[in-house]
Amino acid sequence: MPTFVGTVTDPCSFPYPGASSRSPGVRHVQARILHPATLQPREAPTGTEAAARLNNRSQYPGPEGRSSRAWDFVDALRTHQNNPAYLKEPYKGLGDGEVEQLIKNAFAQLAHRRSRGEGSSAAEQSAALRALAKSTQQLPPAVADKLARDAGAQGSVNTRTAVLKQPEARAAMRRTFLDTASAAFDKSKSFIDAQKVGDVLSSDPVLLKDFAASGGMTRWLVYSRRR
């Protein structure tokens, strides 16, 4: 079945809410027929082809399309998570700016679905979370660094923490995230920044040891006990 994106004209013989005097019996409905499995990014034979399918914006119209595109991206990463060479190709084909935005949208989608219990089972969502974390190993260094810094920045919503604290996530990203969140906490003493520090420390014994040795643990614990 071909993909359709556009307006469906639905003639009817009676007025309906929202009908105008110019077209009292015509209803215009925005519709999207999902592309078949053969066009799904996860089904692409190469990572380059997966990037091309994700770049086909006609498949992803409107705000809902943005969410669908992010989830298709996660789905492709999960399908090919054990093929590092494959995973590098989508990142190269999409470009740094597009990769950064897709990753951010994917983080947000995972956080939303986990919080609302939507779309799939808890086990499937956890698998998607780990796959996205594992894929950060193949991110271009500049993109990985920026994502980690943005996630740890003062007052930022920590939707990315769930991914970055996974053991499969890139170690350098977790370190950058911790350093940025810790610096933000030193300035703000806010609960949001303190929570981000605690979340990532609880997931990584090495980071916990290094953080304690630097004296950061003492400052964080003193504040946390006051809450």
What DSSP assignment string belongs to 141-199? HHHHHHHHHHHHSTT---TTHHHHTSTTS-HHHHHHHHHHHHHHHHHH--HHHHHHHHH
The dihedral sign for the CA sequence 104, 106, 108, 111:
negative
Query: Tokens for 226?
Result: 């006051």
- Reported as a single tens digit per residue, the pLDDT across 28-77 is 434 444 455 458 999 999 999 999 999 998 889 988 898 899 989 989 99
Report the residue count for the chain.
227
List the domain boundaries for the chain.
1-33, 36-139, 156-220
Strand partners, 135: none
Task: Tell me the CA distances in angstroms from 59 to 3, 193, 226, one per residue in order.
Answer: 7, 38, 51
Amino acid at 45: P
| 199 has pLDDT over 60 | yes
pTM: 0.70
Q: How confident is the model at residue 24 (pLDDT cuts 50, 70, 90)?
A: very low
Neighbours of 66 (CB within 10 A): 17
Q: Where are the alpha helices (DSSP H) in 55-121?
A: 62-79, 84-94, 96-116
How much is the mean pLDDT over the chain?
A: 76
H helices within 44-83, ranges in order? 47-54, 62-79
DSSP state of 101: H
With contact defined as beta carbons under 8 Å apart, do 29 and 8 qualify? Answer: yes
Q: Identify the pLDDT of residue 16.
A: 36
Q: Which residues contact 30 (CB under 8 A, 6 or more apart)?
A: 6, 7, 8, 61, 62
Helix (H, G, I), strand (E, B) or coil at 19: coil
- What pLDDT, in 10s, does the model give residues 163-173? 888 888 999 99
Q: Based on the number of CB atoms within 10 Å of its own CB, is 9 exposed (0-12), middle (13-18) or buried (19 or more)?
A: exposed
